[in-house]
Structure 1
Amino acid sequence: MTDVLGELKARGLLAQSTDEEALSQALAEGPVTFYIGFDPTAPSLHMGNLVQLIIARHLQRAGHRPLALVGGATGLIGDPRMSGERTLNPQEVVEGWVEKIRSQIQRFLDFEGPNGATLVNNYDWTSELSAIDFLRDVGKHFNVNTMLAKEAVAARLQSESGISFTEFAYQILQGNDYLELYRRHGCTLQTGGSDQWGNLTAGVSLVRKVEQAQVHALASPLVTKADGTKFGKTESGTVWLDPSMTSPYAFLQFWLNAADADAVKYLKIFSPRPVAEIEQIAEEFAAKPHERLAQRILAEDVTTLVHGAEPTAQAQAAAAALFGRGELRELDAATVDAAAAELPHVVVPRARLTEGMGLVEALLETGIVKSKGDARRAIREGGAYVNNTKETEEERTLGENDLLAGTAVLLRRGKKTLGALRLTD
């Protein structure tokens, strides 16, 4: 067994744990069966979930056995949030999300061999609990004073809306998951984000009280940006792992746009490269930050991990082609549309292109010029481009022949000011 705790620390993936010395010994003696949990509160996992999947990959590669839990039961309830009560989703919706998330998890873990991963669903055992069993066999072991001290619960109690018993009882359900996985699979370690520490320790305490067994919890720090804003969010919303919700192109751009102050930290957390190699990259990056080496490697590594090599290559080709370093006409429709969606753009009906849309008008509507006079000046001075081709005729019109892959037209002013026309029927 490798020193996986040391590896997690070196990558900035360890915030706290229960009895680190005992956990380190258990991992060294291994193999340890551990679990990570994901509640289906949306049809896809997001960037915060990716951190936990990466921790699971490190533990599995060190010889330990993962249980990937998708909360078909806890997803019907919802972990208390600071902002207020969750809207309960219909059971059939949650069941559909369970299947989507299970399929996403399968891409990140190895399900073969002696320490192959196992997918579990807490609905399998929670649905069998009667109210009396839940209160007598599980709830009896939870101290309400301790539950009230949980940060989210305490904050909600101070709010006008308060907190429902349903959400208040969430940590009991999650604690019971640990107990069941200990009994069914010999699970002795749970991992999660540091914001889940109260839930993690609730499970540890329950197993110790009921089974008199020593089990462990490990929490990763919440990933943040250097400027203090929330990680995994863009102007267009959450960065999802599902390519239909966040395209591989948009996903790649998220990492390429990482701030210099964040890039190396993110490499250590998200890239599979050895820490020693990342530190060498950091030295080269520090010497020539303008070349953005860390961001380019980060974007390629993480996009390949999540979406695969071919979609990553297509997204890279699109990024290069947008700035004239590749052939736009070689991009497929999905990649063109995804790239256009990330640019300042205007959606136009097909009829406008069929009839002929003026270039001056198009430049203005996409917002890459401030006025028609500004547009005409850009054209006269050789600074206006359609699909990376310089245009010098002020009366130039755009038609269907200008569409890339039948879906969009790329407009550019100068070297870096981009916009797009996206087509709708």
Structure 2
Amino acid sequence: MDIIDDLKYRGLINQVSDEEALREALKKPMAFYCGFDPTANSLHAGNLLVIVIMMRLQKAGHHPIAVVGGGTGMIGDPSGRSTERQLNTKDIVDNYAESLKQQLDRFLQFDNGNATFVNNAEWLNSLTAIEFLRDVGKYFTLNYMLSKDSVQTRLEAGISFTEFSYMLLQSFDFLNLYEKNNCRMQVGGSDQWGNITAGLELIRKRGHEDQAFAMTFPLITKSDGTKFGKSMGGAIWLDPERTTPYEWYQFWFNASDDDVVNFLKYFTFLTKDEIEALAIEVAEHPEERKAQKTLAREMTILVHGEQALKQAEHISQALFSGDVAQLSGEEIRQGFKDVPTFNAPSKESKKLLELLVEAGVASSKRQAREDIANGAIYVNGARRTDLNDILTDEDRIDDEYTIVRRGKKKYTLIQF
């Protein structure tokens, strides 16, 4: 199966400018690029789709160029937005760009020569207004620019000249990479089709003979219509400090039966036969969640590595069994990140009854007594039924945490 057929099987091609010619061109190694605007200090799960597609093309023998928009990031892309972006300072954009470079390097490995990283600030920041208007602006009519969806959707609410010009800046990126890096194709999400094809237009009008190509991928949504890459806490980030490896694992493990096979196609490097076998498991034995476990494992290894996977699986098993005493301090920080936390004022021994009230586990001493007497209170997974029980240093995991559970699922983390 060639790369185009593989992408089609996985449902990853939304639009392509000239499929027949592109198939022929991809018979030889081709340089292609995708842009990432530095609007945060981390990429997120939504960005991962295009990164994985770049990796697929790379494995097929082609050369990815990752372009971080240190220049365009100062402007803001109107695509897919109903309001103007808040403009960041140059220092913030530069810091974000450096963070994204480090993240992208994990996947594409720039140092081995099989991928290239560039920051479009290298050519955009030195571009004068007169040069821009003469060398880029004169090739585009207002009618052409106004016909693009990214502009059309903003006309009623209003779009500034700043964001209106973004399309031309991105077109100049493509031209610059075409001329200096022999880059023949730009890839991106389907909301980028207008910007990418504007680049093709500029390359053509500048008189270049070798054909350039555009390819876009669908914007992923869940089967229930909700936006992919979000959770109750917000975006799912690639940065382990923002989304822990355990949270990342759980995000994929919690994929619905209606979504999991598509996610396996989109995001993993499993073969067609492997995916089809898991699809049968979903249909015949959905309760075993074999496909979800495979998806969570593959995605955690891809983004965080084998050790992080082992840790995430260990946390999941401990929480499922209730045997939380086996967790390390670091695993507790991951697994109980969103659990109510009480910061104990000291490490002195404390009566369990009093601590339950102070930590908000029970609303009163009376309620605390009832909970203890009824066997509803667990400390580090062990039931405590003694009304005179005292918590000591032996009840602290890594001398820092005690995990209190009331009933089956209500956890409170005591941090010392």
TM-score (norm 1): 0.90
Matching residue within 275, 279, 292 for 1:278 = 275
Query: How many Å apart are 1:51 and its aligned residue?
Result: 0.5
- Structure 2 runs not aligned, ≥5 long: none
Write the distance in 1 (CA, Å) between the matches of 2:163 and 2:59: 35
Distance 2:401 2:286 in 1: 33
Q: Separation in 2 of the partners of 1:387 and 1:377?
A: 19
* Distance in structure 1 (CA, Å) of the matches to 2:269 and 2:259: 17
SS in 2 for 1:321: helix
CA offset digits 1:293-316 (Å, max 9, x no partner)? 111111111011000110111111
Equivalents in 2 of 1:411, 1:49: separation in Å? 38
Counterpart of 2:378 (choices 379, 385, 391) is 385
CA distance in 2, matches of 1:137, 1:263: 47
* Equivalence for 1:294: 291
Letter in 2 for 1:90: T
Shift of 1:11: 1.2
Between the aligned partners of 1:405 and 1:83, the Cα distance in structure 2 is 49
TM-aligned CA deviation for residue 393 of structure 1: 2.5
Structure 1: gaps (5+ residues): none
Measure, in 1, the Cα distance between the counterparts of 2:71 and 2:389: 60
Matched with 2:215 is 218
1:195 and 2:191 matched: yes
2:331 is aligned to 335
The residue matched to 1:188 in structure 2 has which SS? strand
Is the CA contact 1:322–1:388 (under 8 Å) kept in the aligned structure 2? no
Residue 419 in structure 1 maps to residue 399 in structure 2:
no
Residues 305 and 21 of structure 1, relative CA distance in 2, 3 Å threshold: same
Q: How does 1:220-369 map to 2 (within 5 A)?
A: 220-324=217-321, 328-331=325-328, 333-342=329-338, 345-351=339-345, 354=348, 356=350, 358=352, 362=356
Deviations 1:250-292 (A, max 9, x none): 1111111111211111111111211210110111122111111
Instruction: Go from structure 1 to structure 2 and tell me whether the alpha carbon gap of 1:303 and 1:182 turns closer, same or farther (over 3 Å shift).
Output: same
The answer as to whether partners of 1:317 and 1:326 remain within 8 angstroms in 2 is no
Aligned counterparts of 1:185 and 1:208: Cα–Cα separation in 2:
17
Aligned counterpart, 1:185:
181
Deviations, residues 163-184 of structure 1 (Å, cap 9, x unaligned): 2111111111111110000001
Tell me how far apart the structure 1 counterparts of residues 67 and 402 of structure 2 sit (CA, whole Å). Answer: 44
Read off the aligned partner of 1:30 and give its amino acid letter: K
In structure 2, what is the Cα distance between the partners aligned to 1:307 and 1:87?
Answer: 31
Kindly provide the amino acid, as one letter, of the partner of residue 118 in structure 2. V
Shift of 1:71: 0.9
Tell me whether 123-132 or 74-83 shows the greater mean CA deviation.
74-83
**Which amino acid in structure 1 is aligned with residue 47 of structure 2?**
N
Residue aligned with 2:108, SS: coil
Give 1:209 deviation, angstroms: 1.3
Which whole-Å CA distance do the structure 2 matches of 1:270 and 1:124 have between them? 32
* Larger displacement relative to structure 2 (374-383 or 85-94): 374-383
Query: C-alpha offsets along residues 170-209 of structure 1, whole Å, 9 cap, x if unaligned?
Result: 1111111100000011111111011111111111111111
- 3-state SS in 2 of match to 1:157: coil
Matched to 1:420, the amino acid is T
Using the alignment, how far apart are the partners of 2:360 and 2:216 within structure 1?
Answer: 45
Deviation at 1:330, TM superposition (A): 4.3
Given the superposition, is the C-alpha separation of residues 296 and 372 from structure 1 closer, same or farther in structure 2, using an over 3 Å criterion?
farther
CA distance in 2, matches of 1:90, 1:354: 48
Q: Percent identity?
A: 45
Please report how far the alpha carbon of residue 327 of structure 1 lies from its aligned counterpart in structure 2 after TM superposition: 5.8
* SS in structure 1 at match of 2:82: coil
For normalisation by structure 2, the TM-score amounts to 0.92
